[in-house]
Amino acid sequence: MKMMMRVCLSCHLLLAGIFLDVFAATPEECQLLVTPLSLADPSVILGKTNFLAGYTDYGAFKGILKATESSWLNITESNIASEVLMSQENRINGTCVGSTVAMTLEGQSAKVAFADMNSVLSVLPSCDGCFVFYINFTATNVKKLLEQINVSDKATADEAQGSSLYLMGKQLTLSPSDLEHFRKQASCLGFMGEPDFLFNPEKSFCREGEGIRMPYSQ
């Protein structure tokens, strides 16, 4: 019996090792996978895209991703130099939540500040018609933010700091190779396991202007 248990344990460890190796990348590969794109020409992010897959390392935001059914972005040019406008509509726990915020472009990064949250975003290479947002954020009054989007997490502290990785695309589905590419990027940046969000194309999207508008929305 002990021998059988050892064999089973060895098999599980072997399979776990194989799973991790599938998405592991060499340092050289990682450098290519996570080198930010220049935003001197913002066309790489302009237009409407769907949220296809995502990771986060902050517990309360994992809850948001688990509760998210669908989400889309529409990034448009602004009248202000080095600025674009980012509109989004999210279906979270069956409720549509939308907002529009300004995004300031600075070289290879973009900055977004609204309510009590500040984010610095980098754009990483992805599949044709796609891009990846790598986001580092800090936030205060997190519980209030969660209440506004109908997500409850009583254990959440009121201050947050963390990172997220979001794959955006014009399509509704990802090929296995495109998803593997994203997982390798995630692994290079320290995100492990399955994505916290993976879009189900059977889910419907909110229409623009439908549902709740966040108080900070422009």
For tokens 């290479």, what's the residue? 125
pLDDT at residue number 156: 65
For the chain, give the percent of residues with pLDDT over 90.
Answer: 67
pLDDT tens track for 47-82: 999 999 999 998 888 989 999 999 999 999 999 999
Please state, in angstroms and rounded to a whole number, the distance separating the CA atoms of residues 41 and 65: 30
| Average pLDDT along the chain | 87
pLDDT band, residue 211 (cuts 50/70/90): confident
Q: Is CATH 3.10.129.10 what the domain over 30-213 is classified as, yes or no? A: no
Residue 59 CA to residue 134 CA, distance in Å, equals 17
- Confidence class of residue 158 from pLDDT cuts 50, 70 and 90? confident
Band (pLDDT 50/70/90 cuts) for residue 3 is: very low
Amino acid found at 210? E
> What 3-state class would DSSP assign to 93?
coil
Q: Which of 200, 102, 122, 128 is nearest to 166 (CA)?
A: 122
pTM, two decimals, is 0.85
